[in-house]
Amino acid sequence: MIGPLLRVAASSAAARSLRIAAQDAVNRALLTVGAALAVAVGAIFLTFSALSLLESQLNPAGASAIVGAFWGLLGLGYFVATRRRRT
């Protein structure tokens, strides 16, 4: 008589902890996506603001070259850092 009741109580407790773990995983995933979206939008807006500032001081081709070189160096630094971590 007590065995089936204990089994039901244990299964409901396990289901509750599994539900909480799943909800935590979804919340972390949504926060990660939100943070990545915020970084991407911030990078786009800062790029366009830097480009417009440089275009007012230089010609458009020179401003584009400077912004492109900045992002190229940033990408190269990221590649070197991840390459070093992998090997």
Domain ranges of the chain: 2-86
Cβ contacts of 58 within 8 Å, gap of 6 or more: 66
pLDDT in tens, 50-62: 999 999 998 989 9
By the 10 Å C-beta count (0-12 exposed, 13-18 middle, 19+ buried), 13 is classed as exposed
Per DSSP, 33 falls in state H
For residue 29, give both structure tokens: 């995933």
At 46 the three-state DSSP class reads helix
Which residue shows structure tokens 């007590």? 2
- 26-37 tens-digit pLDDT: 999 999 999 999
Indicate yes or no: pTM above 0.85.
no
